[in-house]
Structure 1
Amino acid sequence: MNYRSLSLWLDQVAEAGDPLTPRAPLDGDLDVDVCIVGGGLTGLWTAYYLLRAEPTLRVAVLEAQIAGFGASGRNGGWCSALFPSGFSSLARRHGADAATAMRRAMNDTVEEVGRVTAAEGIDCDFVRGGTIELARSAAQLTRVRSAVEADAARGGLDGYEMWDDAVTSTRVRASGVVGAGYTPHCARLHPARLVRGLATVVEGLGALVLEQTPALEILPRTPDNGAGGAGPRVRTERGTVYAQHVVRATEAWTSQLPGTRRAIAPIYSLMVATEPLPPEFWDRVGLSRGETFTDARHLVIYGQRTADDRIAFGGRGAPYHFGSRIAPASDRDDRVFGALRRTLTDLFPDLRGFGFTHGWGGPLGIARDWNASVGLDPASGIAWAGGYVGDGLSTTNLAGRTLTDLLLRHDTDLVRLPWVGHRSRRWEPEPLRWLGTNAGLRAMTAADVEERVTGRESVAARLMAPFLGGH
C-alpha cells in the first residue's frame, strides 16, 4: 500500500525521510501483560503511560497496517478540548460537578500533549493558538453568543471570549464575518509527526509494536470452573496474543470486529490542502498565532494554517456507507472535495488563483448517543476507549492516561470522570442505520440552507440537537 497517499501529513513525513515501512508483524503466539489492539493515538498513548508508570510491563501493540494509518494520521490537526457530548448533556446525566470535571480534564489535556511532545522530543509543530469560531450570519452570531454566555455562567471554565467584527479582523480576515467566539484551549499540530514520533518513543520504552497484524477477534477471559480458566486473548492470522488485559483501541474499525459491529458507526470526514501560500496572502488573512478556525454552521468544518503556510481544511458531508463498510475508495469523494474547496474559497476569497495539492479522508467513530467512553470490564479483562466523533486528537491522550489508571488500579480523579464506564446502546441494524445516519447528515446540510434563507436559527437543527451530543 502507498501509505503516503493517505493524507498530506503522511506524505510530508515520508518526504522528510520516514519511509513508512511496516514494522515486523507478530510471528507466532505471544504472552504479554497488556495487549493493545490498534496502533493509533489511543493505543500508543496507553502504551506510553503504562510503561512510564511500570517500565517492567510486557506491552504489545497490534496494528493492522502501520502506526497512524487510521484517523490518527489523517485528521485535521486540532488538539482541542472539544468533547462530543456537550456540557449540558453531561450535566443532565451526571450532574454539573461531573460535567465541570470533564471540561477541566479536557482543557488540561491540551497542555499535557504539549508537555509530553516537548519532553520526548516529538517535533509535531505544536502551537497553542486557540480556536476562532467565526459567525457569518445573524443566526450564527446568536449561536456563538449563547455559547459564550453559557460558559460565563459556568465561571468562564472554557475561557470563551466574544469578539465583534473589528476585533475578529485583527486575528483573521474572512468574508461575511459579523463576529466570532474564541477559546484558548486548542493547539494546531502535525498529526502524522505526532503519531509516528509517539510510536518510536513507545518502542524505546520497551513496547512491541507489531504492524501488518490485524486482529481477527478479541476473546474475553474465561472463568475457572474447575477445568482451568484463560485470560483474554487476541486472535490473528499470525498467532494468538495472550494477556492479562486487552485494550480495544480500534475507533472506526471497531465496527469491523466480531461482537462490536454495531457499537460504532464509521462516518467519513474528508479534507483538502492548499499549496504553500505566499507571505502577502497571510498579510491579508492573518492566523499568525497558530489559531485553528471554524464557523458556526451546523455541518462541521475545521481548518488550520500549517507550519509550511498551507491551509488544511476539512468537513463532514460524505455519506455513511451501508453495513458500516470501510473501503479505500471511500477515502476520496470528488463531490465532497469540490464542496470543501468552494467553502474554503468562500471563506477566504484571496485563495482564488492558488492551487490545492492534496485531498484525502477516512472514517471516524460515532457511538449511538455521541458519547465517547473509556472503561475496563474486570470480568472479561477487556478495556476500551473510543467514539470520539472526530474530537480524538486530544481525547486519545486522556483515554491513555485513564486506561493506565484503570489497568494499574490507581484511584485517581481520572477514573471518576463521567465518561468512564459509559456504555452506549448499539446502533440499529441495517437498513435503519443507513437511513437514519444519512438522514441526519442531510438534516444538518438543510439546516444551514434554512438559516441562509430565513436569517433565523434553524428549526431542523433544534430538533436534531438531542441526537447529536446535546450541543
Structure 2
Amino acid sequence: MDFMTQQSYSAPGFVNGEVSFWMRSTGRPTPRPALPGDVSADVAIVGAGLTGLWTAYYLKKARPELEIVIIGREFAGFGASGRNGGWMSAEPAGQFRRYAKSGGVEAARALQREMFGAVRESIEVARAEGFSEDLVHDGLVHAATNAAQLARARAHIAEMRQQGWGEGDVFELSPAELGERVRIEGAQGGYWTPHCARVHPAKYTRGLAATVEGLGVTIYEGTTAISVEPHRVHTDRGVVGAKFVVEALEGYTLSLQGKARKLLPMNSSMVITERLSDAQLDAVGWHGAELVGDVAHSFTYMHRTQDGRIAIGGRGVPYNFRSSFDREGRTADSAVLQLKKRLGELFPALSDVRLEQSWSGVLGVPRDWCASVNFDRSSGVLTAGGYVGHGLSGTNLAARTMRDLILGEDTALARLPWIGRRARNWEIEPVRWIGATALYAVYGYADKREYALDAPRTHWTARMANLVSGR
C-alpha cells in the first residue's frame, strides 16, 4: 500500500469518529431520561438498537396493553444500527449449511424465504409509519474484478439456487450488464439481486424509535445494563423486574457479566467522500440506489448516498486485543488509507477525491458465524443477535420471531432453525487476537495473489483460512 499523509485523503474539516456520518448528518438526538430507579414491566429489553426497537414495536402492535421498557447506555441507534453501511439485504444472517445440518434443508430454505420477507416487511413498515426517508429499493450488486472472484460469484449463485433463490431472485451479470449499473475498473462480471434496499441508518433507526415511543414504549437512555438474571436486569441506575427480558446488545454483548466471549466484537470501518460532481458521478456510472460490494476475501461494501457521495466500508482492523474498541467510532489511519486506496482501485476517476469523515463500529460475530434466537422460558430470558453484517433485515425477522415466542404462538417463525442455536464461546486471549489477526492477514494475502495470478480458483491460503475460521 502506498503511504499517504492525512492531507492527501481528507477534506477540510475531516472528521474521524463522532459515531457516524449518518448521525452527524441528522445531528445527535436529544438525550432521553435515564432509568429513574427500580421499575417493573412486562418486557424489559436490553439494547436500544434495531433488535430491541423492532421487538418492542411488534409486541406493542400485537398486545398494546403490554408495558415495555428499553434500556440503552447511549442514545437509540448509537451502535451498529446507526453506523452500518445502509444495506438492507436478504442474504442469510449465517451459514446455510449449518442451519441445514441442525434443522434440515427445508427449514434452512424457510429461513431464507423469511429473510426475503424481512426486507419487504421492513420497507413496508417504514413507509406506513413515516420513516422511509432516503430508503430506496434498487437491489444489490456484487462485482468480481479478477478470475477467482468471478468463479466464486458463479459458485455462489449456484449455491443460492440450491438454497431457495429462484429465477427472479438473483441474476448473473456480464461485464456489459454490470457496467449499465455501475462502472467498476477491471470488472469481469458479477450478479444482482432485487432483495436489498438502501437505507439511511440514522434516519431509519431514529424514526423507528420515535414510532415505538408513540406506541407507549419507554426508552431509558444513559443507563448501563450490568447483568441479566431470571426476570431481572441490573443496571447502574436501578433494577428492572420483568416477566420477559430480551438481550439485544449485538456487538456490545461483552459488556454484560459472564458474556465476554459469547460474541466477537468485529470492527468494521467506513469512510465517505465529499459530494461528487456530475462529471465524477458520470465517470462512475452509478446513478441508481443499488448497494455495491466486491467478491474479495477482504470484503468491501459501498453505498451511493441520496446527496451524491460514496460511502465505502471494510474490515480495516477487524479485531482489537481483548475485544477493545473505540465507542465514538474513531478509525485507525491505516484503515482509512486502505479504504481510500480501494475506492481508487475500483473507481480510478475518484482516486483524488477527498474524504469527509471516517468512522467505525462493531458487529457481533458468533463462533459458528450464525445468527440465533434463544428463549429460556423458565428464566424469561431471550437473546438474539450475531447477524454477521446482515442486521438491517435480520433484526426485523428476529424481533418478529421473539414476539411469537413471548406470546406463545405456534407459528412458522417459531420453528425456524436459528431458534435454540448455541455456539461455543470464542477462545481466550491472546489466542483470540492472534487467530483473528492472522486470519485477516491471510485473506489480504490471498486477495493479492488472486489479482497477480488472475486464475479461476480461490487461492489455497484463503481456502485454509476458511477451514480454520469456520466462515
TM-score by length of 2: 0.93
Contact 1:3-1:69 at 8 Å conserved across structures? no
Matches within 5 A, 1:273-284: 273-284=272-283
Distance in structure 2 (CA, Å) of the matches to 1:176 and 1:83: 28
Superposed CA offset, 1:340-361 (max 9, x none): 0110111011113422101000
Contact 1:364-1:390 at 8 Å conserved across structures? yes
Cα deviation for residue 250 of structure 1 reads 0.4
Between 210-219 and 141-150, the greater mean CA deviation after superposition: 141-150
Distance in structure 1 (CA, Å) of the matches to 2:71 and 2:52: 9
In the alignment, what sits opposite 1:64?
A: 73
Matches within 5 A, 1:175-214: 175-214=185-224
Contact 1:264-1:427 at 8 Å conserved across structures? yes
- Percent identity at matched positions? 44
The 3-state SS of whatever aligns with 1:25 is: coil
Contact 1:86-1:469 at 8 Å conserved across structures? no
Contact 1:4-1:20 at 8 Å conserved across structures? no
In the alignment, what sits opposite 2:297?
A: 298
In the alignment, what sits opposite 1:147?
A: 156
Cα deviation for residue 152 of structure 1 reads 3.5
Which runs of no fewer than 5 residues in structure 1 stay unpaired?
Answer: 221-231
The 3-state SS of whatever aligns with 2:292 is: strand
Contact 2:267-2:360 at 8 Å conserved across structures? yes
Distance in structure 1 (CA, Å) of the matches to 2:56 and 2:286: 35
Going from structure 1 to structure 2, the CA distance change for 1:343 and 1:159 (only over 3 Å counts) comes to: same
Contact 2:439-2:469 at 8 Å conserved across structures? no
In the alignment, what sits opposite 1:227?
A: none
Distance in structure 2 (CA, Å) of the matches to 1:152 and 1:432: 37
In the alignment, what sits opposite 1:106?
A: 115
Amino acid at match of 1:207: V
Matches within 5 A, 1:79-90: 79-90=88-99
In the alignment, what sits opposite 1:439?
A: 438
Cα deviation for residue 332 of structure 1 reads 1.2
In the alignment, what sits opposite 2:25?
A: 12
In the alignment, what sits opposite 1:253?
A: 252
Which runs of no fewer than 5 residues in structure 2 stay unpaired?
Answer: 1-14
Contact 2:94-2:387 at 8 Å conserved across structures? no
Going from structure 1 to structure 2, the CA distance change for 1:160 and 1:468 (only over 3 Å counts) comes to: farther
1:367 paired with 2:377, answer: no
Distance in structure 2 (CA, Å) of the matches to 1:201 and 1:155: 34
Aligned residue among 71, 76, 82 for 2:85? 76
Matches within 5 A, 1:50-449: 50-153=59-162, 156-157=165-166, 159-220=169-230, 232-328=231-327, 331-449=330-448
Going from structure 1 to structure 2, the CA distance change for 1:468 and 1:110 (only over 3 Å counts) comes to: farther
Contact 1:3-1:10 at 8 Å conserved across structures? no
Asked which structure has the greater RCO (Cα within 8 Å, sep 6+), the reply is 2
Superposed CA offset, 1:386-440 (max 9, x none): 1112221111111111111111111111111111111111111111111112222
Cα deviation for residue 467 of structure 1 reads 5.0
Distance in structure 1 (CA, Å) of the matches to 2:319 and 2:17: 25
The 3-state SS of whatever aligns with 1:98 is: helix
Cα deviation for residue 284 of structure 1 reads 2.8
Amino acid at match of 1:419: W
Contact 1:375-1:406 at 8 Å conserved across structures? no
Distance in structure 2 (CA, Å) of the matches to 1:464 and 1:108: 33
Distance in structure 2 (CA, Å) of the matches to 1:450 and 1:4: 33
Going from structure 1 to structure 2, the CA distance change for 1:354 and 1:453 (only over 3 Å counts) comes to: closer
Amino acid at match of 2:224: P
In the alignment, what sits opposite 2:5?
A: none
Amino acid at match of 1:10: M
Amino acid at match of 2:39: L
Amino acid at match of 2:258: G
Contact 1:84-1:469 at 8 Å conserved across structures? no
In the alignment, what sits opposite 1:224?
A: none
Contact 1:4-1:11 at 8 Å conserved across structures? no
Distance in structure 1 (CA, Å) of the matches to 2:264 and 2:342: 26
The 3-state SS of whatever aligns with 2:18 is: helix
Distance in structure 1 (CA, Å) of the matches to 2:470 and 2:287: 32
TM-score by length of 1: 0.93
Contact 1:317-1:441 at 8 Å conserved across structures? no
Distance in structure 2 (CA, Å) of the matches to 1:288 and 1:203: 36
Distance in structure 2 (CA, Å) of the matches to 1:299 and 1:170: 25
The 3-state SS of whatever aligns with 2:369 is: coil
Superposed CA offset, 1:56-103 (max 9, x none): 100000000100110111000000012242333332333210111111
